[in-house]
Structure formats: C-alpha cells, structure tokens
A and B are shown apart, each in its own frame.
Chain A
Amino acid sequence: MSASLEIQLIAVVVAVTCALPGVFLVLQRMSMMSDAISHAILPGIVIAFFITGNLSSPWIILGAAAGGLLTVALVEVLRKTGLLKEDAAIGIVFPALFSVGVILIAQYAGDVHLDIDAVLLGELAFAPFDRITMGGMDLGPRALLVMGVILVVNVVFISVFFKELKLISFDRALAGALGFAPALLHYVLMGLVSVTAVGAFDAVGSILVVALMVAPPASAYLLTDGLKPMIVVSVVIGAVSAVAGYWVAHWLDASIAGAMASMSGVLFLSILILAPHRGLWSVQKRRSNQALLFGRKMLVIHLYNHEGLPEAQHECRMDHLEDHLRWDHAFASRAIRSSLQNDYILQQGPHLSLTETGRKYARSSLVEL
C-alpha cells in the first residue's frame, strides 16, 4: 500500500472512531467534555510514559483513560458541590490537569518525542513510518492498528449497548428507574472517549480530536431524524472530512490534521446553511413563504371587507396598501403579484378587485381566524 493511501486510511479510521462516541457527547450536550478529556489525558500519558519508558506501550492508553476518567470524576465532584455549573467545572479541571502534563514534559521529558507541537497538533504525515512488525513481518502502520482496535471497541460497545445508550442520552431518570445503571454507562462511555482521544492524539493531536468528535455528529444532527441515521451520517461526514482534508493538505502542502479539522468545519458550515429542513436557508425560505402567504391573506381579506362599500375606490388602490397596511413597496408588490398568480384578485390600473375565487378564499380565511 502506498504511503498516501495509508495516510488516508488512517485519517478515515481516526475520523470514524472519533465520530462514534461524539454522537452521544453531542446528544447529551457534553461536547465540551471531549475538549476537556482530550487535554486531560496528557498527564496520564506522561505519567504512564515515565513508568514504562515507552511511548508505544498499552499502559499509555490506560494512563490516558485514567486521566480522562479523572476529569469526568473531578467535574462531577465540583458540580455536585452546587457552587458552580458544569461548564465552569470543566473550565477549571482540564486546564489544571493539562498544565500538570505540560510541566511534567517540560521538566523531565525535554529530549523525547513528547513535544508540545506533537501533542497539540499531531502529525499524520509521519504515521506510515512508525510500523509494527511481528517476527519480521510488517503488520502495518502503528497508528492504523491502534486506531483500528479502538474503532472495533467503539463499534462493538455502541452496537451492544445501543438501546441503553439511547435511553441514558434521552432520559437519564427513566434509565435509572428501570435499573440501567446510567452512571456506570456514562463512565464507560467517557472511558471510551478518553481511549479514542489518546489513540487519535498521536495522529491528529489533542485539539483536533475535538473537531472530529463534535463537528461530524453536529452536522449529522441537522440532517437526520433518528439515532441510527445520525450515527451513520456522522461516520460518513467524518470519513469525507478525512479524505477531503488529506487532499487539501496535499494541495496546500499543509498539516493534514489541520486540513481534516478544517474540512469538518467547512462541511458543518455548509450543512448548517443548506440542510433541507433545519438549515438556515431553508428556515429563512419557510419564514418568507409564510410571510407571503399571510400577506396574501391580509390583502384578500382587506379587499373583501371593503368590497362594494363607498370607500372601496380609495381603499382598494395599490398605493393605498403601502400607506394603510404599512407594507413596504417590495412586499406589497410581492403580495399583489402572488395574489394575481393565484387568481384571487384582478387589477385594473391602480385598482384591485376580488375574483370569485378570491372571495371564497377570503371567506374561508375569515372562518379559520
């Protein structure tokens, strides 16, 4: 396999692995927890590194998971004091833990691979050079294998506990009342977020992990109506961000991880604007259509109320609408045009009159009111 293909494959696996637990973070309104965990795993990694002296040891992953769970537990402890809210608790806990990690690196690990740049941003381009061999046989890039294992763990966990995860995400109290141990599941989920973060950390660094955990699920949330479709769409968006990011980075000669995160942001922004039902454009269009519909109704009812009366000559003039109904010219013209198209009114010079259809529409609208 070529290096280019391997990097893309790693990128896709990383993005997909992050998107899976990300769905539940986004749904439980805990997106910021991914930020906290991805930073707070650092001291866990550093301490595990000091103990084992080896960055590729599985202890590193366990150390990271411990760091992540410590964050979740500390946030919970602070929140339970009732003295500060969860966001403030997160904002206090993770910088504290992260800074401990940074100081440990600066003091004791100045000469190893654990430098700050790599920690924050990761470097996907070098991933193919770090390979795992067994008995002289090349098994593939380490990042791919590690992340592949974590992906399988995430997929298995979410498939097996799908029903339970859905319940704790939607209604924690009911989950507790039915005996589904929501606190335990929550910690397992957060443990997986930590493990995923440490796995992805090598490839994309601790900051960009957050983008990959939050942006694809947040995009999928705008596009889908069910939990399963949301998971599938998150995974697809994550994979697309990864591949697109790789080629953008290739083209700009820039950081692959940075380009992946940017692409996930670009995709989110496009979906935010263009999503069929919940997108900004569609919402705007719906509002404007409703306004026009309402304008048409008002116009027809206005004409109906004054029909046949002495003041009709005056009340039913086009320019009068702008004065009396306080409509601006553009909206008045739109309402008139649309009423003409619907065959509700007739226009003779500046005078407007109702058609039979228009009269019927006015009567039925008045009944609705």
Chain B
Amino acid sequence: MDYAIDIRDLTVAYREKPVLWDVDLQVPPGVLIAIVGPNGAGKTSLIKSSLGLIKPAAGSVLIHGRPYSEQRSTVAYVPQRGSVDWDFPTNVLDVVTMGLYGRLGWFKRPGKSERIEALKSLAQVGMEEYATRQISQLSGGQQQRVFLARALVQDANVYFMDEPFQGVDATTERAIVELLQNLRKQGKTVAVVHHDLQTVPEYFDHVMLLNVRRIASGPVEEVFTEDNLRTTYGGRVAFVSALSAARKQ
C-alpha cells in the first residue's frame, strides 16, 4: 500500500538521550492526523526528522514511497509560530511568497505571478487585506494564518504542521480546522502536532499517541482510548479521566 507518510524504526537522540525510540507510523493518503503526547514526547522531533532537518540515529521516513529529499516539492511545513522572529523587517505578502522559494529554486527571484499566487492563499485564510502589513503588527492568530497561507501556496500533497492552534482564539481555530478539513477533502494528507485532547475526536480522523515511543496510531475511534491515553500521559490520570468524562457527555 502506498502510504503518504511511512516512518519506520525512527530513532532520534540528542547525545545519548533518545527523543524518539524506534517509532513506526504509517499514514494513508487523504487523512487528517493529530500527533499528541506530553511535553518532551518528541512530536516536533518527529516532524523535523521527517523533513530532514534532524538526522535520525536510525530508521527511515518515506513520503509517498520516496525519501523526503526527492519529495520536497510535494511537502509543506508549518513550523511553530514562535520559531521565527516576528520583528523581522518584512511584510505579510513577502512571508507567504517564501512558500514558493522551493519551487523557484536557487537564484530565481519571485515575480508577479508568485505574488498573485501568494495573494490567493492569503485570501484563503482571510488575510488578503493584510498583504502589505508589517509582520510585527500581527496578532498571534494572524501570524498563524500567515504561516498557513505560506504552506497553502506550496500546493503540496503532504502537510506537516507544528502546533497551528497554539495561542489562537476560538474563531481562528475554527477557521483553521475548516482549512485543514478542506485540504483533506482535496485528498491531501495533513499531520498536525496538537495539544488539546478534547478536540481530537472532533477535528481529526486519525491520531498518533506519542511519548518517545509510539503508543498507538490509527483511526481516532480505534486508538483514542482511555487506556492508550493513560499509557501516553503516565501519571496524569486525573487529567485523562476528566477528558474521558468530557467525551462521554
């Protein structure tokens, strides 16, 4: 079977300390998958090693059957919003256009057609009026939407998103979810690092429970169980029970 994301025996370590330990993950195409787990579970490392940004100690990652280096143009990445300097002297349109740099390749500069494409994806996230706005003047939710627009403009098949709901208000969160579900409807595969367990069943159709090792992964209704959550989150049972109580309602 052709998996959109096929991670096998992935081990990542900083010095001797393993962050990911023999992790397997097979994601079929056209799936919206949440990657959940406690802090330090290796969620960001999983994404970064899938994108070749971290060299794994062992294991492999294939995107639609081929290594990432051959699939760059079909993969888009939304890093954590806090990973960049929002005081950088540039505007919204320029940041979105950066999503097209990969397609342009070395040396070639973005031109009019790139700006038009960037404007289109800004419109998709409802930010077209902000095109010439300095990025330092954006709110957290607006920053997140700019990052999403930058990924959308790549028109990829597989999307990796690191905490796209971090620090956004409820309206923005709904808008983002709608975007993600639209991507899935178009047959794209979207892997999202997610923190709010309560919304997992509502937003996603697959889920991966990760805590250095893979605890479980698969369709939400099969693997998003109290037992698996307990294993993933260890001692924080109260938290998990509260969640399952909330789910029963």
B83 at interface, CB cutoff 8 A: yes
For B98, list chain A residues within 8 Å (CB). Answer: 166-167, 170-171, 174
Kindly state whether residue A226 has any CB partner on chain B within 8 Å.
yes
Query: How far apart are B59's CB and chain A's nearest CB, in angstroms?
Result: 19
B90 close to A173 (CB less than 8 A):
no
Q: Is the CB of A163 within 8 A of B101?
A: yes
Question: B113 near A: Cβ within 8 Å?
Answer: no
Alpha-carbon distance A225/B79, docked complex (angstroms): 23
Residues in A175-215 with C-beta less than 8 Å from chain B = 176-180
Q: Which of B79, B95, B109, B134 is close to A163, meaning CB atoms less than 8 Å apart?
A: B109
For B102, give its contact among A161, A169, A178, A230 (CB under 8 Å). Answer: A178
Cross-chain contact of A166 among B14, B77, B90 (Cβ < 8 A): B90
Decide if A170 touches B77 in the complex (CB within 8 Å): no
| B84 is an interface residue with CB less than 8 A from chain A | yes
A220 and B239 alpha carbons, distance in the complex (Å) = 50
- List residues of B (33-54) whose CB comes within 8 Å of A's CBs: 48, 51-53
Cβ of B104 within 8 Å of any chain A Cβ, yes or no, is yes
Report the bound CA distance from A180 to B69 in whole Å.
11
Q: Which residues of B contact A6 (CB under 8 A)?
A: none
Q: Is the CB of A227 closer than 8 A to any CB of chain B?
A: yes
- Chain B positions within 8 Å of A170 at CB level: 84-85, 88, 90, 95, 98
Whether B106 contacts A164 by the Cβ 8 Å rule is yes
Give B61 Cβ to nearest chain A Cβ, in Å. 13
Find out whether the CB atom of A171 lies under 8 angstroms from the CB atom of B83. Answer: yes
Measured in the bound complex, the distance between the Cα atoms of B52 and A169 in whole Å is 19
Q: Is the CB of A176 within 8 A of B52?
A: yes
A174-B51 Cα distance, complex, nearest whole Å:
10
Q: Provide the residues of chain B in CB contact with A173, threshold 8 Å.
A: 48, 53, 77, 79, 83
Taking a contact as CB atoms closer than 8 A, the residue among A160, A180, A229 that contacts B101 in the complex is A180
**Does B110 sit within 8 A of A, measured CB to CB?**
yes
| A177–B89 alpha-carbon span in the complex (Å) | 22
Q: Are A226 and B89 in contact (CB under 8 A)?
A: yes
State whether the Cβ of A162 lies closer than 8 Å to any Cβ in chain B: yes
Closest chain-A Cβ to B67's Cβ sits at a distance in Å of 12
Contact between chains at B102 and A225 (CB < 8 Å): no
Q: Are A82 and B14 in contact (CB under 8 A)?
A: yes
B53–A230 contact, CB under 8 A? no
When the two chains form their complex, are residues A177 and B88 in contact, meaning their CB atoms are under 8 A apart?
Answer: no
**Does B247 touch A at the CB level, under 8 Å?**
no
Q: A163-B104, A163-B109, A173-B83 are in contact. Are A179 and B88 (CB under 8 A)?
A: no
Q: Contacts of B91 on A, CB cut-off 8 Å?
A: 225-226
Cα distance A163–B3 in the bound complex, in angstroms: 34
How many A residues have CB within 8 A of the partner chain? 27
Contact yes or no, B101 A167, CB < 8 A:
yes
Interface residue SS majority, chain A: helix
Knowing A170-B95, A226-B89 are in contact, say whether A177-B104 is a contact too (CB < 8 A): no
B248 at the interface (CB under 8 A from A): no
Is A225 a contact of B89 with CB atoms below 8 Å? yes
Determine if A29 is an interface residue (Cβ-Cβ < 8 Å): yes
Is the pair A162, B79 in contact by a Cβ cutoff of 8 Å? no
Residue of B nearest to A226 (CB): B89
- Chain B 67-101 interface residues, beta-carbon cutoff 8 Å to A: 69, 72, 75, 77, 79, 83-85, 88-91, 94-95, 98, 101
Question: Which residues between 132 and 171 of chain A lie within 8 Å of chain B, taking CB atoms?
Answer: 160-164, 166-167, 169-171
Chain B 99-146 residues near chain A, CB threshold 8 A:
101-102, 104, 106-110, 134
A173 to chain B, nearest CB (A): 5
Is the pair B110, A176 in contact by a Cβ cutoff of 8 Å? Answer: no
How far, in angstroms, from A174 to B83 measured CA to CA in the complex? 10
Q: Is the CB of B88 within 8 A of A169?
A: yes
- Asked if A160 contacts B85 (CB within 8 A), the reply is no
Q: Are A226 and B72 in contact (CB under 8 A)?
A: no
Q: Which residue of B lies closest to A160 (CB)?
A: B107
Interface flag for A98 (CB, 8 Å): no
A176-B53 contact in complex given A224-B89, A226-B89, C-beta closer than 8 Å: yes
Are the C-beta atoms of B89 and A174 separated by less than 8 Å? no
Nearest-CB residue, chain A, relative to B69: A179
Given that A169-B88, A171-B98, A225-B134 are contacting pairs, would A178 and B15 also be in contact in the complex, using a CB cutoff of 8 Å?
no
- Residue contact B90 to A177, C-beta cutoff 8 Å: no
> B52 near A177 (CB under 8 angstroms)?
yes
Most central of A163, A176, A221 by chain B CB within 10 Å = A163
Minimum Cβ distance to chain B for residue A168 (Å)? 11
Are the CB atoms of A177 and B51 closer together than 8 Å? Answer: yes
Determine the distance from Cα of A171 to Cα of B85 in the docked complex, in whole angstroms: 8
Q: Whose C-beta in chain B lies nearest to the C-beta of A175?
A: B101
B-side interface residues toward A, CB under 8 Å? Answer: 14-15, 48, 51-53, 69, 72, 75, 77, 79, 83-85, 88-91, 94-95, 98, 101-102, 104, 106-110, 134, 150
Residues in A lying within 8 Å of B, measured CB to CB: 27, 29, 82, 160-164, 166-167, 169-171, 173-174, 176-180, 221, 224-227, 229-230
Pairs A–B under 8 Å by Cβ, sample size 11: A82-B15, A163-B109, A170-B84, A170-B98, A171-B84, A176-B51, A177-B53, A178-B101, A178-B102, A227-B90, A230-B89
Apart from A179-B102, A227-B90, what 11 extra A-B contacts exist at CB < 8 Å?
A27-B89, A161-B107, A163-B104, A164-B106, A170-B95, A170-B98, A171-B84, A171-B98, A174-B150, A180-B101, A224-B89
